[in-house]
Structure 1
Amino acid sequence: MSITRRNFLKIAAATGGLAIAGTSTVTSVLGLGKKPVSLPQYIPTTCEMCFWRCGVIAKVVDGKVVKLDGNPLHPNSRGKLCARGHGGIGLLYDPDRLKTPLINTGARGEAKFKKASWDEALGFVADKMQKIKEKYGAESIALLTHGTISTYFMHLLQAFGSPNFAMPSFALCRGARGVAFELTFGEDVGNPERLDIQNSKVVVLIGSHLGENAHNSQCQEFAEAVGKDATVIVVDPRFSTAAGKAKYWLPIKPATDLALLLSWINVIINEGLYDKEYVAKYTSGFNEVAMAVKEYTPEWAEKETDIPSSLIVDTARVIGKNRPHVLIHPGRHTAWYSDNVQRQRAVAILTALLGAYGRPGGIYLSPKKKLEPVFLSDKDYPEPQKPALNKGDYPFAGEEGVTHVIVKATLTEQPYPIKGWFITGTNIMKAMPNQRDTLSAIQKLELLVAVDMMPYDGVMLADVVLPECTYLERHDDLFTVKERAFGISIRQPVVQPMYDSKPGWWIAKELGKRLGLEDYFPWNTFEDFLKMKCETWGIDYSELVKKGYISFPESEAPYITSDNQPKFKTPSGKIELYSKELKEKGFDPVPKYTKHKQPPEGWFRLIYGRAPVHTFSRTTNNPSLWELMKENTAWVNAKVAKKMGLKNEDYIVLINQDGVKSNKVRIKVTERIREDCIYLVHGFSSTSKLLHRAYLRGADDQQLITKYDIDPISGSVGMRVNFVKISKEV
């Protein structure tokens, strides 16, 4: 029998795992020639090409990763990877990677770097941190972070004495949704979201672009639902990939989504299409909601949304008649305008009225499994001497903090100065609004440290650059996966770190040593910590290493039954359609419609999104993925293009309301977008000259986002409030 890859995988699986310890050889006895040939190793780990964190199996030959596949045991990958997941090899072997610590020798932002040893670079950072602490206090150092590296640097910062950390993922992405669902159901919908798409009869996507947002398991389930003839309703000013699978495309006027949601609720209540038994048993505040939405008729909503009232009624009836097997997708990037939480509250209320929370085809319940918390150390953090700034004055801002609050405090030095920033795992120039504010704030710092894998735009502004190795070269903390059943996923190195890069945990630990914080890092290697964690949880570490993922099938209880009743962690213990918590803080307890400014004649609302082959700005230089999409294009409605004498692939420049100009960008002339909008894929036109493929390719939507609105409830940042005009002078 010839040893094919398929047969080898069968053999490996039969012997208890896919990971092979050590390298074996096969000689000419097996007919493969005289020269020994290394057998490939198949090593499971967890991807970090995006936040989905799919299970991956790396094929390694002679110490080199030659292929990545989805781990069939992991529910986020289900044996498959998206293009970005396969692009992990491109990240690993990108010649533009950061290879050694760097110290800037010029003015901040000049990027005149000298190579440094780790001892020199970490000593420089520790010395600066201590001086800032002595002069201003430990709280004057802040962390802007994203991804798994956050665990280690949040730990370091709090051990140092500062509570000031913030994540773009809250303020700019999931924060408003999390707050809205917590206020309504007592918990968020998870990350990834607990969506029972494969059993949905109706899938409603409001500004959620499955197929372009390549959320692996959701895209697979969406395809299954479509294959079962589920009705898809897409609400979007642009005819997205998902809209191509929809029975109903509602090209809504931007900034009016809440009007549509409230009118749907109006129809569903008035026509008795809600789940009366469910509402009576599990919710509070129904009468208040019914009264509040009386004014939001389909006829009223038509004037606001540009969607015919008959279509609003038809889609509401489709949604109501298929209850509870209906998924109103809660979305991820939900920070659009100044009423983000109330818009997401309307999504949550509609979900509850349909009886779709905890029911097949809707949002399933969390798996029933609890593990004892295991912390990086048992030593208590010192009590900060000054109040935390990271949540601002927003009463429902999450524990992750709000990024623009850190920027504002740095600029104003109120209520006290912020003089040092760590930026880890996030490209601040592409991840926060109003780049001018960010740049001005940076100039007021006495220390800016960047920890990353690539020389992104934000990294090039740093005083010290500390190169983290890629996810294929390191251990990270264990991932708890809360899909239908509870599970544990491991990230482990499949090859040794290249160049002079180090794991994030090592960088934080070594810096902690130099700051006198050794007691907060009591483990020698991170694998020691993982083994201790597994022992505490009663998990076989060797089994986890071999399989990459361990599931607890007994924890699966996705649906409400007589024996599986939900517990809502709200003050009333019920789903709160009417929120007393919001009322007590001076906000509307039931969502009310807010009018937003529309673009004047000759201007267009700038909307933005994602491509399935890229993760924001983090992959636009990736050798594998760059080949698939080298630059973005500006979507322009065909009637607008004809009026302006523009042809497909002509170059244009976009100019926003504050006079900021984009780099030149090709246009995509299409009928798949409203006439009052221009669309860009986010993350392009890097200003880092060290990113040789991404440098100035396409247009930077973030550069044009100089205005933003803030949601007063959560502090989330609405960035779809910028208008642009087209210039043919390039």
Structure 2
Amino acid sequence: MKLTRRSFLKASAATGALAALSGGVMSFERWAAKAAETGEVKLIPSICEMCGTKCGIIVKVKNGRVVKIEGNKEHPNGKGKICARGNAGMKLLYDPDRLKQPLKKEGDRFVPISWEQAFREIGEKLKEIKAKYGPEALVWSTHPELAYDYEVIFNQAFGSPNLSAHAPTCYSPRNVAYKTMYGEVPTVDYGNVKYYISCGRNLVEGINVSQVTGIMKAKEKGAKLIALDPRYSNFAALASEWVPIRPGTDLAFLLAMIHLIIKNEWYDKEFVKNYTIGFEEVAAEVEKYTPKWAEEITGIPAATIERITEEFAKAKPAAVVDPGWHTSRYMNSTEMVRAGAVINALMGNLGMKGGLKFPKYKFTKVEEREGLWPKLEKPKAKRFDGAGGEKWPLAKGLGMIQMLPEHILSGQPYPIKAYIVNHHNPVRSAGNSQKWIEALKKLELLVVIDVQMSETAMMAHYVLPESTYLERFDPPQIAGNAVALRQPAVKPLHNTMGVDDIIKELAHEAGIGQYFNFTLEQFSDQMLKPFNVTFKQLVEKGVIALDDGKTEYKVPEIKTESGKIELASSAFEKAGAKKVPTWVPPGVTEGNGKLRFLHGHTAVHTHTSTFNNEYLHALMPENVLWINTRTAEKLGIKNGDLVEVKSDYGKVTIKAKVTEAIHPDAVFMVHGFGGFSPYQKKAYKKGASTSFIIPCHVEPVSGASADCEVLVEVRKVGGGANA
């Protein structure tokens, strides 16, 4: 195995040396000409990776190149449909700016090196840091993908507790609230819902194709959709009613709903009796949260709150407050999600048609599997961010990666000297780019695994190029009632590797190779064994259904300590909150010329990863600042004017979009623009970056980043470029 591995690395180095910067790479035009020739079209079933949803795809390959990507009707995610991002996947594969060869920073420039040299030098440095500072000196962060289990094994085998994901900048409040109260995170039976309330979740732009398809079917059948949002988003336009709530006050609206539901006995008494605990404690807490009280906070008339609540309750059990997705917004976000979870329980919608549902199938946790590696020991040190400890007990497994710069700079609670980043760009996704850049310069080792030279990669000592999702295998996926496999449609175009092989090679050189003496096929078969499916079967079929797909509507097993939905939970008390949801004001207050800064997603881009894609760039090349008409008039700002947006943390310049479609107390920008990596030529300095404005907050219960707890001043400027 050792000789084979070395031979592979040497061969890769030899064939890839010239391709590193572009010299030996076939141009897109030559590939297109080859594809136009007569030849057989092959259909390869696989899984998209243009966002985190992972829809099933069919990749059309002709004469060795991808010519089209379509949806896979057999795959539960998408069911034959893909979004703009999924359609644009081939432009990621053929992007001339993508990484083509391992790189090492020498002085202020990057030079191509062999894989063998990269692994050897990184491994030596990791062993050196471990011996000097302990294994906890390594932090690993990731946007969790299908090979996440490899990352778990690596970090536990190395002895580091510091495996972190992007959760605190996205979904931590949702996960903490529902896992604590319900035992796991549910989703919605979108296609059958009759009354749906979204607290800022923009389904149409933070797009999940299956869920959007479902909610559209529900609307066609007469469902009422309520968009509770300070901005008239694309989902608000689709919805039956837009409720332009004051930013950060959704919690007050939901508490008033609970007040009305209990006061008027609009709840499902049998469900509450049989499947919940803590009802009396909730009832006592919400007695004071009247619609009139909520009106003063939210700006929404009491009569509107009363009407919506009554309509909602009449639709039970097919009435749902969406658990949310990107819920890391305010200091009260966990309380807001908890309140929504209480409402869902009062409607008795869990397991019911048009209500909430739990995933039917799941893989076992990697720590519970045996046979392919030595037993994994729990790391001895505590996490650098305290997640799972006394102060942050509910943040266990989620972490607070947004606080890493502070801990690097302070050296507390211990020195952090090495950082490995996979499929993640925290310099621009975690807020306060300036502080991230300052902190990363202090590291002894920074390794970035990616397909493009991100802003985080620009700071790295080593950049390891991953093969795109169209060029590699990954471990299998569970999607709804099926298992599926990502597999290569074409061979790697450049000297790149799949992340599973990258992690295995790093492990061997870091002295923990005994934990990775298995193949991807063996690893996959181990995951699939409980379902009587094999890796080879998935290679052949792409997707294999585990049942007939028919839903049996019944209350599922509730995996909490009590075996019931915990409307009141002592776990929240231990985390510093009350046992039941309670009113907590947002962390900052608008006024005195300062506006709340909001940001969110668009349907044609993902985080910071797609802005260099030629197709998607053409659809949306830059962002703008949404500002209310009356607010703009006071500031002398007209539509299209260049404005400066300044917070206590930084400033950017951007064009203004003057509109009635945003609350007067707030401004809004699409996240992800304003890239400052010159290696991504299309994305470079296009639009403005939210990460120069947003601080690195910590929401007190879940540890989320509370990205919308920031005030800005906006002024018209005569010219200039983005920071």
TM-score by length of 1: 0.89
Q: How does 1:278-289 map to 2 (within 5 A)?
A: 278-289=271-282
2:609 counterpart of 1:611: no
Correspondence for 2:94: 93
Q: Judging changes above 3 Å, is the alpha-carbon distance between structure 1 residues 370 and 116 closer, same or farther for their aligned structure 2 residues?
A: closer
Is the CA contact (8 Å cut-off) linking 2:504 and 2:516 kept in structure 1? yes
| 2:217 aligned to which of 212, 215, 224 | 224
Given that 1:143 and 1:421 are in contact with CA atoms closer than 8 Å, whether structure 2 keeps it comes out as yes
AA aligned to 2:495 is D
The answer (yes or no) to whether the contact 2:576–2:701 under 8 Å persists in 1 is no
Query: Using the alignment, how far apart are the partners of 1:212 and 1:722 within structure 2?
Result: 23
Task: Report the Cα distance in structure 2 between the residues aligned to 1:150 and 1:408, rounded to whole angstroms.
Answer: 26
User: Per the alignment, do residues 369 and 430 of structure 1 end up closer, same or farther by CA in structure 2, a change over 3 Å counting?
Assistant: closer
Q: 1:216 to 1:161 in 2, by over 3 A?
A: same
Corresponding residue number in structure 1 for 2:161: 163
CA contact (8 A) 2:373 2:514 kept: no
Provide the TM-score with structure 2 as the length reference.
0.90
Please state how far the C-alpha of 1:390 moved relative to its aligned partner. 4.7
* Residue of structure 2 equivalent to 1:520: 515
1:459 aligns with 2:448: no
Cα distance in 2 between the residues matched to 1:584 and 1:244? 41
- Tell me, what secondary structure is at the counterpart of 1:458? helix
Deviation by residue 1:348-404 (Cα, 9 ceiling, x = unmatched): 000000111111111124326776964693212355343333543301113143213
Asked if 1 retains the 8 angstrom alpha-carbon contact of 2:249 and 2:585, the reply is yes
2 CA distance for matches of 1:573 and 1:36? 62
Please give the secondary structure, in 1, of the residue aligned with 2:395: coil
Does 1:634 find its partner at 2:625?
yes
1:285: Cα distance to partner? 1.3
Deviations 1:201-242 (A, max 9, x none): 111111100111111101111111111121111100001111
Give yes or no for the alignment of 1:336 onto 2:346. Answer: no
Instruction: Answer yes or no: is 1:582 the counterpart of 2:572.
Output: yes
Could you say what secondary structure the match of 1:37 adopts?
Answer: coil
Aligned counterparts of 2:199 and 2:234: Cα–Cα separation in 1: 13
Task: Indicate conservation of the 8 Å contact 2:531/2:546, yes or no.
Answer: no
Report the Cα offset of residue 338 of structure 1: 1.8
Write the mapping of 1:517-556 to structure 2, written as runs, cut at 5 A. 517-523=512-518, 525-531=519-525, 533-534=527-528, 537-553=531-547
Post-superposition Cα deviations, 1:423-479, rounded to whole Å, max 9, x if no partner, equal 110011122122233223212211100000001111111011000010111111111
- 2:558 corresponds in structure 1 to 568
In structure 2, the residue matched to 1:271 is 264
Amino acid at match of 1:407: P
Distance of aligned partners of 1:323 and 1:612 in 2 relative to their CA distance in 1, 3 Å threshold = same
Residue 445 in 1 paired to residue 436 in 2? no
Return 5+ residue gaps in structure 2 as ranges. Answer: 1-35
Partner residue in 2 for 1:681: 670
C-alpha contact 2:331 2:709 (8 A) present in aligned 1? no
C-alpha RMSD over aligned residues: 2.0
Whether contact under 8 Å (1:161, 1:381) holds in the other structure is no
2:130 pairs, out of 124, 128, 133, with: 133
- Residues 26-56 of structure 1: CA distance to partner in whole angstroms, max 9, x if unpaired? xxxxxxxxx9932100000111111101011
Q: 1:712 aligns with which of 657, 682, 700?
A: 700
Q: Distance in 1 between matches of 2:127 and 2:666?
A: 50
Q: Secondary structure at the match of 1:466?
A: strand
Give the number of aligned pairs. Answer: 676
Determine if the alignment matches structure 1 residue 494 to structure 2 residue 489. yes
Indicate if the aligned counterparts of 1:419 and 1:447 stay in contact, CA closer than 8 A.
Answer: yes
Contact 2:169 2:402 in 1 (8 A): no
Q: Does 1:64 align with 2:65?
A: yes
- Provide the rounded CA distance (Å) in 2 between the counterparts of 1:491 and 1:375: 24
Given candidates 174, 178, 187, the residue that maps to 1:177 is: 174
- Tell me which residue corresponds to 2:300: 307
Report the 3-state secondary structure (helix = DSSP H, G, I; strand = E; otherwise coil) of the residue aligned with 1:691: coil
Is contact 1:390-1:402 (8 Å) kept? yes
Deviations 1:40-88 (A, max 9, x none): 0000011111110101100000110010011101111110000011111
Offset from partner CA, 1:290-321 (integer Å, 9 cap, x none):
11101100001000000001101011111111
In structure 2, give the amino acid aligned to 1:251: P
Q: Distance in 1 between matches of 2:363 and 2:434?
A: 45
Structure 2 CA distance for aligned equivalents of residues 321 and 383 of structure 1: 49
1:186 offset after TM fit, Å?
Answer: 1.4
Instruction: Name the counterpart of 1:693.
Output: 682
- Match runs of 1:384-423 below 5 Å: 384-392=379-387, 393-423=391-421
Q: Distance in 2 between matches of 1:299 and 1:120?
A: 68
Q: 1:724 to 1:421 in 2, by over 3 A?
A: same
Structure 1 segment 146-161 matched on structure 2, within 5 A:
146-148=143-145, 149-161=147-159
Q: Aligned-pair distance for 1:557?
A: 4.8
Aligned to 1:381: 376
For 1:270 and 1:704, locate their aligned partners in 2 and report how far apart those are by CA, in whole Å: 43
> Residue 686 of structure 1: CA displacement?
0.4
The 5-angstrom pairing of residues 112-131 of structure 1 reads: 112-131=109-128
Mapped partners of 2:520, 2:470: distance in 1: 15
CA change 1:197–1:58 in 2 (3 A) is same
| C-alpha distance in 2 between matches for 1:370 and 1:509 | 21
Say which SS state the counterpart of residue 511 (structure 1) adopts.
helix
Query: 1:535/1:589 Cα in 2 relative to 1: closer, same or farther (>3 Å)?
Result: closer
Q: Is the partner of 1:473 in helix, strand or coil?
A: coil
Q: Is the 8 A contact 2:172 2:704 kept in 1?
A: yes
Does structure 2 retain, via aligned residues, the 8 Å contact 1:368–1:555?
Answer: no
CA separation in 1, counterparts of 2:363 and 2:461? 43
Contact 1:52 1:215 in 2 (8 A): yes
Amino acid at match of 2:404: I
- Contact kept, 8 Å, 1:365 with 1:559, in 2: the verdict is no
Question: In the alignment, is residue 105 of structure 1 matched against residue 81 of structure 2?
Answer: no
Rounded Cα–Cα distance in structure 2 between residues aligned with 1:378 and 1:130: 20
SS of aligned partner of 1:627: helix
